[in-house]
Amino acid sequence: MKIAVAYENGRVFQHFGHTEEFKIYEIDNDEIISSEVVSTNGQGHSALADFLFGNDIAAVICGGIGGGAVNALIDAGIKVYAGITGDTDAAVIALLKDELDYDTESNCDHHDHECSDHSCDHNNSCSGFNYVRKRLKKQDDIKEETIMNEVCEFLKKVGTYYLATVDGDQPRVRPFGTANIFDGKLYIQTGKSKDVAKQLLANPKAEICAYAEGKWLRIAGELILDDRIEAKKSMLDAHPSLRKMYSEDDDNTAVFYFQNATATFSSFTEAPKVVKF
C-alpha cells in the first residue's frame, strides 16, 4: 500500500491544490518500508487525483483542500486525511497507529474567490465548506460500514463466539451466536430476563472473542440497548430461528449495539489489525 503526503521541507503542505511535491510512503504490515519525494510536474487541484491514482496511492494526507479535489480523490478510491499539520513522517506513523487526528471540516481557502458556506459547482476547485465536510464525512461513513461488515461476517463465519460482561467485580463469559448490522451499527441479541442483559444495563462494557481458521477476533466496547421495534425485527429477520423464542413485539427481546468499539484481528502469521467503529 502507498500513502502520499502533500510535502514541503519535511512538513505537511497546507494548500493541496498547489502541491509541488508529494512524499510517497510504501507500507507493508502497517510499517514504512521506503519513502521518496516525487514532483507533481506542475499539476494542480483536481488533476492531482489523476497523478496520485497513477502512482497507485491508497490514501493522501494534506492540510487544506477544496471540494473539487476531495470529490476527485474519493471518486478515484483514494482516502483523504485533511487538516493535518507538522512533520510528514510523524503524520504517517500516526495514521498507521490509527492515531491521526484528521479534520472532516478542513476546506481550502486560498483560491481567487472566497469559499463561503455555500455549495459551489463540483467542477470548481473549491466547492465550499459544506461540500467538503459532507464529502469527507461520507467517506468516513463508508469506511466504518466496511469495517463493521468485516467484523460481522467473521462472527457469522465463526457461528459461536464468547461474550464477556461485568457482574459487580466478577467477569462473566458465555457462548453467543447472534450478529447483525442495522442502521450502521453492529448488534447482538439476547433476552431481557437473562443475566447478561441485566449486567449490560448495569455496566455496558463488554468484550467478544472469536476464533476461526487460524485467526481470532477480539472486540472491546460498550453494548447499548436499542428498544426500537425496527432494530429487533432486523435481528430476528437475520436469525429466523430465534423467532421460536422471541418476537419484536414481546417484552423480552433485547438487542444491543456496539459503541466506542475496538476490534483486533490477530494470528500467529500476521501483524494484528486494529479497527475502530
- For the chain, the domains span 2-138, 159-276
- What pLDDT shows up at residue 113? 37
| Superfamily in which the 159-276 domain is placed by CATH | Electron Transport, Fmn-binding Protein; Chain A (2.30.110.10)
DSSP 242: G
Cβ distance 62 to 6 under 8 Å? yes
Phi-psi region of 181 (alpha: psi -120 to 50; beta: other; left: phi over 0): beta
What integer best gives the mean pLDDT of the chain? 85
| pLDDT above 50 for 117 | no
Higher pLDDT, 29 or 201: 201
Pair 20, 39: CB distance under 8 Å:
yes
Question: How would residue 141 be classed by pLDDT, with cut points 50, 70 and 90?
Answer: low
Calculate mean pLDDT across residues 148-170.
Answer: 94
Beta bridge partners of 73: none
Q: Which of 103-117, 212-226, 258-272 has the lowest mean pLDDT?
A: 103-117
Does the pLDDT of residue 72 top 70, yes or no?
A: yes
Say if residue 129's pLDDT is above 50: no
Q: What is the pLDDT of residues 5-22, one digit of tens each?
A: 999 999 999 999 899 999
Phi, psi (degrees; rounded to nearest 5) at 149: -60, -40
Q: Say if CB 19 and CB 125 are below 8 A apart.
A: no
Query: Given a cut of 80, is residue 267 above it in pLDDT?
Result: yes
Q: Is the pLDDT of residue 42 over 90?
A: no
Domain 2-138 classification at class level: alpha beta
CA angle in degrees (0–180, nearest 5) for 186-192-194: 105
Q: How far apart are CA 42 and CA 48, in angstroms?
A: 9
